[in-house]
Amino acid sequence: MEARAVSKYVRISAFKARQVIHLVRGKPAGEALAMVQLIPRKAARLVAETLRSAIANAESSEKAGVNAKDLRVKEAVVGEGPTMRRFRPKARGMAGRVRKRSSHITIVVTDGKE
């Protein structure tokens, strides 16, 4: 049984979020959540939120009997979202582009009983 959670339009660059996601992929869900809660990064907080949502989705699905201890992170992906473009004043009347990137975080957990 699989359950997924998606956080869309998260205001962090996909590159920064992927650094945290690589640590979570393939681990048991409880261990991954404990690991992410100890990482002092903004991306870790956002990944933890999505992981908790995926675990809750698995526990509350119509197929009862799924325990959080049995879950494993099957898939963890960070894709790029839309980029907001802003401008910052520069010298001699020019303007420099500022890209405010966003991303979509997808986490799939499974109990391995398919």
Which sign does the torsion angle of CA 80, 85, 89, 93 carry?
positive
Q: pLDDT tens digit string along 38-51?
A: 999 999 999 999 99
20 exposure class (CB count in 10 Å sphere: 0-12, 13-18, 19+): buried
pLDDT-derived band at 60, boundaries 50, 70, 90: confident
Coil, strand or helix: which one is 10?
strand
Per-residue model confidence (pLDDT) at position 70: 87
Average pLDDT of the residues in 13-21? 96
Q: CA of 33: how far to CAs of 25, 40, 95, in Å?
A: 11, 13, 42
Q: pLDDT tens digit string along 81-106?
A: 999 999 999 999 999 999 999 999 99
Complete domains list, the chain, with CATH:
2-110 (3.90.470.10)
Query: Under 8 Å CB-to-CB from 22, ≥6 apart: which residues?
Result: none
pLDDT-derived band at 114, boundaries 50, 70, 90: low
Average pLDDT of the residues in 23-35? 95
